[in-house]
A = this chain, B = another copy of it.
C-alpha cells in the first residue's frame, strides 16, 4: 500500500519533496492543511480554497460527530460530497478534542467518555468509534485514536499513556475502513526519545500508511520541540509521509521541513486572522495597530494574493475596528495564501537543492519583523 500512496521525489539533506496519491487527487509535499473543523475552513468558500491552491484540508472528527453527526454526513455521500470539496481530506481522530474541548472526560481502556461542549450530553469515543466516524466521513487520510497527555508529564504517565495509545492503535488497525482510506499511526511519548522510538517501532510492526507526531506544541518550550524533532524525525521511516500535528508558525513549519516533516496543520493562520493578524514573510502584522490608520499600502506589498493586490491596510483596519465580517475574510484569505505559497516555495527549493539557503533567508526575513520597526 504505501509505495503507491507516497513517493519520495527528492531529498535535500533531511528536507523532503514527495507526492501523496489519493482517489481524490495528488498532494505535493511538504504540505500545509487548512483546518476545516466543522466542514468549513472558517470564512473561506471552497472556491477560495481552490483558488489559493489548497491540495488537502483537515476535518475534525469530534466536531463533525457532534454536529451534524457522522451518520448524516454518510447519508449525504460522505464529507467530500456534503461540503462540495472533491480534493483530499484528512480527518483527525477526535482524541485531542475530547480532552481539550469537552466539559468532563474520563479515560478508560474502552475509550474516552466525555460531555459535549455544546449541550452537555454524554458520549464515548474510543478507537472503534473513531474509526466508525472517520469511515462514515470518508476522509482520504484517517488518524488513529490516541491519548495526548499535556506536557510536562512524568515519564511514568507518558509510558502508560503511550501503552494505551498503542493498544488503541492496534484496535484502530483492526477496524474496517473504506478501501480508499489510508490510516496513519500517531507516535506519542512526550520529549523522551526512547519512548517515542519504542512507540514508533511498535506502530511500524502494526503497519500504517504514514506516521504522525502527536503531543507536541502542547505545553513544552518551542526549542524543546525543535530539538526533539531534529533528533527524532530523521529516524522515522522514509517511505511514508511524516506528519507533525497541530504545528505551527511559519518558522515551526520551516524547521519541521528541515528535519524531514512532510505534512502540517494548524489553526494559527485562520484563528489569528480573525484576531487581526496578517502573517507575512516579514513577520506578523497586526492590523489593529494605530500606525496603519492612514496607511495606503497593501497588507504585504510583496504579496501577490487577491487581498494584497486590492485592499489597503487602512481599509482593512477600519473593517476590523467596526467588526465587519469582511475583515476576517480578507485576512484569512491572505494568511492561507501565504502559508500555501510558502509550502510551494519550500518544495521548489528542495527540488533545486537550495533549501538551506531558503531556510536562512526566510528565517532572517521573518525574524526581522519589519512591520514592527516602521
Contacts and interface: CB of A to CB of B under 8 A. Distances in A.
A184 to B, nearest CB: 26
Interface string A66-92: 011000100111000011100000000
Contacts of A296: 76-77
A318 B84 contact: no
Interface string A159-187: 00000000000000000000000000000
A100 interface: no
Interface string A25-58: 0000000000000111011111100000000000
Given A72-B294, A294-B76, A324-B38, A67 B329 contact: no
Contacts of A374: none
* This chain's copy number in the assembly: 2
B40 A324 contact: yes
Contact of A38 (B40, B68, B322): B322
Contacts of A75: 294
A318 B67 contact: yes
B82 A306 contact: no
A330 interface: yes
A39 B310 contact: no
A325 B315 contact: no
Given A68-B321, A84-B312, A314-B82, A45 B326 contact: yes
Q: Top 7 A-B pairs ranked by shortest CB distance?
A: A68-B318, A40-B326, A43-B325, A40-B324, A84-B310, A38-B322, A67-B322
